[in-house]
Structure formats: structure tokens, C-alpha cells
Amino acid sequence: MPLQEKLAGRLSGKVAVITGAASGIGRATALLFSGEGASIVMVDVNADAGKRVEDEITQSGGQAFFEAIDVTSTADCRRLVERAIREFGCIDILFNNAGIIRRATVLDLPEAEWDRVMDVNVKSIYLLSREVIPHMQKAGGGTIINTASGWGLTGGAKAAVYCASKGAVVLLTKAMAIDHGPQNIRVNCICPGDTDTGMLRDEAQQLGEDSSHFLAESAKRPLGRVGTPEEIAQAALYLASDTSSFVTGAALVVDGGGLAGSI
């Protein structure tokens, strides 16, 4: 993209930290935010894929760096934020998107798996936000977006720990919105429905189902299809930009109508 267009982007001059940025929704968001003029700090456990996204952005003239850190480690989160501040001077946007899924009932779920899902999906948000918020406070504001899920609002079969973790994300979002609204930090979450990512195929595998059959079942919703990572990225852009300046504590459902018939 030519520099001129970059300057006119909806996130020009902003710095965004994105976790789970090597694939799926995180990758699509990194590319979109970069296209809108933001400098991107990318995090993922998958170093090879993360490096490739970094290359993609820098080769198209964007600013980005990737770090293969563990978002469940306090020390890693701290080190990452220090580097982001050193290289880009501030953090305007934090997209807590890293997440994993285990499809099992409580009976079939080992304790270690429970801890792992809760650590990656929930505790990481707490750890990274704790490092980032002081910088946002100093800068006079910021925006935090968390990836929750439709299953953070309603239950699903064989997804006990995932539902527990995503329900926690929705309410952690609201609690943080209340605490940090007065400091002009907006905190919102996205609740995607089934989206065409590696995680969806991973679910089919965990359940021992054929992936094309699983995708066809997932498409059973008012819009008759699963979402694309780019469509979820657009929702993140809305929440990241000044377009949503009066939105905080909200759970933005992006699910092709999947939850229209649920509480």
C-alpha cells in the first residue's frame, strides 16, 4: 500500500499488540490493522508461522515485529511490553486473541488440560493487560479487545472448559471496562461464531468427526455459512478505532445469527 493511503488509514500512527497472531483471526487482524496504518507487535507460540506474518507485513511496507512468547508467563508478557515500548513508544491497542479449545465433558477432561485452557484463554488476558494498562494510563487512554466466543454467552456440548474460559473472558472484559473507563481505556470483547480457522478443523479432529461434515454443520445458522477470519478482524477494527468511542464493556457478537435464537 502506498504511504499516502497508509496515512489515511483508520489506525494510522497507532501501535497494536496482537496475541495469537500467527494464524486465523489474529493473523487476519494483524494484516488488516497494518493495512489501516498501525504498527503491529505480534505474539504467538508458533514461531515459524508468526515470522511469516511478520515478513508479509514488513515486505508490504508495514511496521511489525514478532515474538514467540508464552502469554501465560508473567516474565514473557513483561519483556514483550518493554520491547514494544522501546521500539514503538506506546501501545494504543491490545488485542488479547490467543486461545485454545478442548472438546470434552468435565468427566473426560484431565485437570492439566483444564489448567492449560484457563491459562491461555483467560489468565493471559489478565497478565498482559496488567503490563499494558499502565502505559495506556500514562498516554491518556487506549483500547483493549478480548476474543471471547458465542460459547462465552451460551453453553455448548463437550466444551466445558472452553465455555468456562470464554464466559470468564466476557465478565473479565466488563469488570476491566468499569475499572479503567475513567482512565479513558475502553475494554470490549468479540464473540465470534464458528469461523473458518485452524481451530475449527482442530475441533472436528478432537471430536473424531469428518472436517467437511463438521463445517457443514457449523454453517447451519441464519446466514448459512461460517465466518471468515477477515470478518472477525473487521469487528476488531471497529472496536480498536475511534469509531467505537462510546463503546465499552460490550460483547460484540459476530456469528452469522447463530445466537439469535439463544439467551
List residues with catalytic annotation.
162
Residue 237 binds to other proteins (criterion: CB under 8 A) = yes
User: Per the structure block, which three cell numbers stand in for 84?
Assistant: 514494544
Question: Where do we find the cell 497508509?
Answer: 6
Binding-site member from 2, 140, 182, 208 for other proteins (CB under 8 A): 182
CA distance 171 to 149: 12
Residue 46 binds to other proteins (criterion: CB under 8 A) = no
CA distance 227 to 214: 14
Question: Where do we find the cell 439467551?
Answer: 263
Output the smallest distance, CB 56 to other proteins, in A.
Answer: 22
Binding-site member from 186, 207, 211, 240 for other proteins (CB under 8 A): 186
Residue 36 binds to other proteins (criterion: CB under 8 A) = no
| Residue numbers 49-78 binding other proteins by CB under 8 A | none
Residue 253 binds to other proteins (criterion: CB under 8 A) = yes
Q: Which is nearer to other proteins, 206 or 245 (CB)?
A: 245
User: Per the structure block, which three cell numbers stand in for 255?
Assistant: 456469528
Segment near other proteins (CB under 8 A); pick from 16-24, 43-51, 54-62, 248-256:
248-256
What single string gives the DSSP state of each residue in 109-139?
Answer: --HHHHHHHHIIIIIHHHHHHHHHHHHHHHH
Binding-site member from 78, 79, 158, 174 for other proteins (CB under 8 A): 174
Residue 235 binds to other proteins (criterion: CB under 8 A) = yes
Query: Contact, 217 vs 15, CB < 8 A?
Result: no
Q: Which is nearer to other proteins, 127 or 250 (CB)?
A: 250
Question: Where do we find the cell 465499552?
Answer: 248
Scored b (16 or more CB within 10 A) or e, 92-128 reads bbbbbbbbbbbbbeeeebeeeebeebbbbbbbbbebb
Site of interaction with other proteins (CB under 8 A): 174-175, 177-178, 180-182, 184, 186, 193, 221-224, 227-228, 231-232, 234-235, 237-238, 243-257, 259-261
